[in-house]
Structure 1
Amino acid sequence: MTADSLLQGSATAMSDAVRSGRSTATALTQASLARIEATDGRVNAFTDVTTRRALDAAAALDRRLAAGDVDAHGLPLLGVPFAVKNLFDVAGLTTLAGSKIERGQPPATADGPLVARLEAAGAVLVGALNMDEYAYGFTTENSHEGPCHNPHDLTRIAGGSSGGSAAAIAAGQVPLTLGSDTNGSIRVPSSLCGTFGLKPTYGRLPRNGSYPFVASLDHLGPFARDVHDLALTYDALQGFDARDPGCVQRAFEPTAGSLALGADGLRIAVLGGYFHDHADDMARAAVARAAQALGVMRTVELPKVAHARAAAFVISNSEGGTLHLPDLRTRPQDFEPLSRDRFMAGALLPAAWVHNAQRVRRWFALRAAELFEDVDVLIAPATPCVAPPIGTEWIELNGQRLPARPSLGLLTQPISCIGLPVCAVPVWGVHATLPIGLQLIAAPWREDCVLRVAHQLQQLGVASSPVAAL
């Protein structure tokens, strides 16, 4: 099998090919760089391509393998190309966070810890990826870098704010990426581009070495085309880092080895109510297809979900606006207009509103904890609809006209507010040509449960992440 064909498959198959000598890290890296060069003019997933670094790292891996200087079996992602959202620190690159303002900052002097952990697992970094400015958005229609295009329909959005992270996988440029999720920024682009994505439990992975948005809501996590790859990557990323005060000191809990258990023994239910009412017929059909495949008959509800979403909005606006207040005062013209106005409004929110939002957040977290006493995994739509065309201002949802950009997070924001682990799972066939994603949601620290169910849905053919025919 050639490096080009391997690149369109799983990271596991790539690393196995390098480990067995059927391919090399250099060949896979060259294939990835060639695919980026051939396709990214249309997709616009990448903001930086680290060609020299990637080729040097791949060559070093190949030399170490040839000399027997490395335990190939101890490197689960051996030779696998990956890329990261451009809010991750990459040594030698300025951490842009999708902005114009940060372009004047010096380059990062070291890689962020999650970048370093993937390289320690044998992966090869090939570049940084397009995103919404300061991670505040659901579309990646970035006015500084240009919009990121959905590889499955180049006239449509990739979702955001980690749009480049999902689009690069859907375009077959890399099999693994890293992104961030504050209000849905892993799950929304996963849904719209048809990739698997994992938002771990809040505090599970360190966030130092990345540009912050909302400290009390920010998560970092992986995207992949295959659930086994997603679990391997998540396992490689785990570990405490005291430099992030929000990172929890928790033992390593591997997930890849338990995937074969599937849904056996897990109590699964469909999350209805708000999550049914704020989804269109295709999103509901995706949920129904997964539930039927898993034999799930039960539907449950969370109370006051709209209140939780409102709390997430208030907290995001307030923390984000406060973070950017110095630049809002001195350089307002250098922000994207939409994010500038939301940050300014957030910086002016009364303290009582923020206090009440935190009270709602705590109350909602307690109601979710009560639900998880009786359920292990919840199934809900990830987005209310498939990817709209680039430039869409309004969407129609069940007879209601809604603003497109914020409404793409209708179903993800309430879950972000309480930091639960969620796996985004892409479903095909409910729309003629586009995917739409599910959220598999579990109690804190039960990433293993959502990944097991995602793996079973992939094995059953309900979920898949094909490379776009660009």
Structure 2
Amino acid sequence: MNADQLLLGPAHAMAAAVRAGTVTAEALVQASLARIERTDTAVNAFTDLTAARALAAAQGIDARLKAGDEATRKLPLLGVPYAVKNLFDVEGLTTLAGSKIERGQPAARQDGPLVQRMDAMGAVLVGALNMDEYAYGFTTENSHEGPTRNPHDLSRVAGGSSGGSGAAVAAGQVPITLGSDTNGSIRVPSSLCGVFGLKPTYGRLPRNGSYPFVASLDHLGPFGRSALDVALAYDAMQGHDGADPACVRRAVEPTAPTITQSLSGLRIAVLGGYFHDNAGPDAQAAVARVAQALGGLHAVELPEVARARAAAFVISNAEGATLHLPDLRLRPGDFEPLSRDRFLAGALLPAAWVLQAQRVRRWFALRAAELLRDVDVLIAPATPVVAPPIGSEWIEVGGQRLPARPSLGLLTQPLSCIGLPVCAAPVWGCHPRMPIGVQIIAAPWREDHALRVAHALEQAGVVQAPVATLP
């Protein structure tokens, strides 16, 4: 299998081929850069390429392998091209965070910790990816860089705010990307673009070396073409970093070695109530298909989910606005209008509202903890509908006409609010042409449970992430 063919498959197969000497790391990087050049005019996933850096890194890997370096040969992501949302610090690039305002800032002096860790495990960075401005959005209809388009239907959104990250994997440009998730920004693009994504437990991965949005809600995590690829990337990035005060001192707990373990003994249920009522027919069908594949699951409910989502909105608005107050005063015209207006609204929120939102958040976290004493894994839809057309103002869900941009996070926001680990996995066949994702939710620090379920569903053919057919 040549580099072009390998590029359209999973990352673990690429690493195995480099390890076996059947393809070089340089050939894989060349194939990735060529496919980006060929397809990104249509998709618009990338904002920057790091071609010289990538080729030099790949050539270094090949040279070490040729010299018989066994440590290099054992690297789990050996020679795998990857890319990052443009809120990650990359040495030599300005960290844009999807904005116009940050373009005047100096380039990053060094890579962020997660980029460093990915490189240390053999992965090769090829570029930075488009996103919603300051990570505030669910569609990546960025007015500064242009919208990222869904590779499975170029007239539709890719989701957001990590839309470039989801689209680049779906387009076959790279097999792994990194993104951020504050209210659903990994899971929404995963669902709409038909790829796997992992939002780890809050505090599991360090966030220093990335542009913040809402410090008490921000998570960083990987996208991939398979559950194992996501596990390998997540494992590569684990570890404490004291520069992020929220990052826990917890031992590395690899998930890839146990991903093939049987699901026997895992207690799995479907989240009903709010999560059923606010899902369209395609989303409901995806959950039903997954539940059937897992042996038929009983339904359970979390109380007051709508209040938890409202709390997430208030906290996001207030914390996000505080971060941007100086620019809101001095450069309001340089914001995207929708982002600016949301931040301005957040700046005007009464402190009592924010305090009450934090109380609701704490209460809801305790209710989730109670439920997760009796259940190991919960299944829920990831988005209420498949990807809507670019420019859509409304979506239809359960007979209700809802504003499209915020409502794509209808089912992800309540879970972000309490920091649970969630793997998004794509289901096909519920809609005639488009994928839609399910959320596989676990207790804190049990990413291994979520990934095991995703892998089992993938092996059964229930979830999958095929590369889009592009011109």
TM-score normalised over the length of structure 1: 0.99
CA contact (8 A) 2:61 2:72 kept: no
The equivalent of 2:286 in structure 1 is: 286
1:218 is matched by which residue type in structure 2?
A: D
Report the Cα offset of residue 74 of structure 1.
2.8
Please state if 1:107 is matched with 2:99.
Answer: no
Correspondence 1:33-432 to 2 at 5 A = 33-432=33-432
CA drift at 1:398: 1.4
The residue matched to 2:207 in structure 1 has which SS? coil
SS in 2 for 1:179: strand
Partner in structure 1 of residue 435 of structure 2:
435
Local SS of the residue matching 1:15: helix
Contact residue 262 and residue 455 of structure 1 kept, 8 A: no
Judge conservation of contact 2:65–2:73 (CA < 8 Å) in 1: no
Q: In structure 1, what residue type is equivalent to 2:149? A: H
Q: Is the 2:191–2:383 contact (alpha carbons within 8 Å) kept by the matching residues of 1?
A: yes
Deviations 1:158-186 (A, max 9, x none): 00000000000000000000000000000
Mean alpha-carbon deviation: is it higher for 93-102 or for 66-75? 66-75
Is the contact made by 1:268 and 1:296 (CA closer than 8 Å) also made in structure 2? no
RMSD: 0.6
Distance 2:396 2:438 in 1: 20
Deviation at 1:296, TM superposition (A): 2.9
SS at match of 1:4: helix
1:128-147 per-position Cα deviation (integer Å, ceiling 9, x unaligned): 00000000000000000000
C-alpha contact 2:196 2:230 (8 A) present in aligned 1: yes
1:391 is displaced (CA, Å) by 0.2
Q: Distance in 2 between matches of 1:61 and 1:322?
A: 44
The C-alpha deviation readout for 1:271-308, integer Å capped at 9, x for no partner, is 00000000001100000000000013310000000000
SS at match of 1:324: helix
Shift of 1:403: 0.3
Report the 3-state secondary structure (helix = DSSP H, G, I; strand = E; otherwise coil) of the residue aligned with 1:387: coil
- The one-letter amino acid of 1:423's match is C
Partner amino acid, structure 2, of 1:234: Y
One-letter code aligned to 2:101: I
Q: Partner of 1:126: helix, strand, or coil?
A: strand
Question: How many Å apart are 1:264 and its aligned residue?
Answer: 1.7
Q: Give the Cα–Cα distance (whole angstroms) in 2 for the partners of residues 302 and 207 of structure 1.
A: 29
The code of the aligned residue for 1:379 comes to I
Superposed CA deviations along residues 231-283 of structure 1, whole A, max 9, x for unmatched, are 11110010000000010000111101111114221000000000000000110
Distance 1:236 1:439 in 2: 22
Q: CA deviation at 1:464?
A: 0.2
Query: How many residues were matched structurally?
Result: 470
For residue 260 of structure 1, give the secondary structure of its aligned residue in structure 2: coil
Question: Is the contact between residue 136 and residue 161 of structure 2 (CA under 8 Å) also seen in structure 1?
Answer: yes
- Please give the secondary structure, in 2, of the residue aligned with 1:261: coil
Distance in 1 separating the partners of 2:320 and 2:228: 34
Shift of 1:40: 0.1
Give the structure-2-normalised TM-score.
0.99
Q: Deviations over 1:399-452 (max 9, x none)?
A: 111100000000000000000000000000001110000000011000000000
Q: Distance in 1 between matches of 2:235 and 2:264?
A: 22
Q: Following the alignment from structure 2 to structure 1, what is the Cα–Cα distance between the partners of residues 377 and 262?
A: 12
In 1, the alpha carbon distance for the partners of 2:69 and 2:465 equals: 35
Q: Gaps (5+ residues) in structure 1?
A: none
1:469 equivalent in structure 2:
469
- Amino acid in the other structure paired with 1:140: T
SS at match of 1:71: helix
Q: In 1, Cα distance between the equivalents of 2:297 and 2:204? A: 32
- How far, CA to CA, are the matches of 1:362 and 1:464 in structure 2? 35
The worse-fitting range, judged by mean Cα deviation, of 348-357 and 260-269 is: 260-269
Deviation at 1:73, TM superposition (A): 4.0
Letter in 2 for 1:364: F
Please list every run of at least 4 consecutive aligned residues from structure 1 whose deviation after the TM superposition is greater than 6 angstroms.
none
Aligned 8 A contact 1:270 1:296 in 2: no
- Show CA shifts across 1:296-332 (max 9, x none): 3310000000000000000000000000000000000
Deviation at 1:368, TM superposition (A): 0.2
**More deviation, 331-340/71-80:** 71-80
1:199-223 alpha-carbon deviations (Å, 9 max, x no partner): 0000000000000000000000000
Deviation, 1:34, is 0.2
Alpha-carbon distance in structure 1 between the residues aligned to 2:293 and 2:41: 39
Residue 451 (structure 1) aligns with: 451
| Post-superposition offset of 1:70 | 4.7
The secondary structure found in structure 1 opposite 2:439 is strand
Q: Which amino acid aligns with 1:150?
A: N
Amino acid of the structure 2 residue aligned with 1:159: G
Distance 2:343 2:70 in 1: 48
Letter in 2 for 1:376: D
Distance in 1, matches of 2:184 and 2:263, equals 25
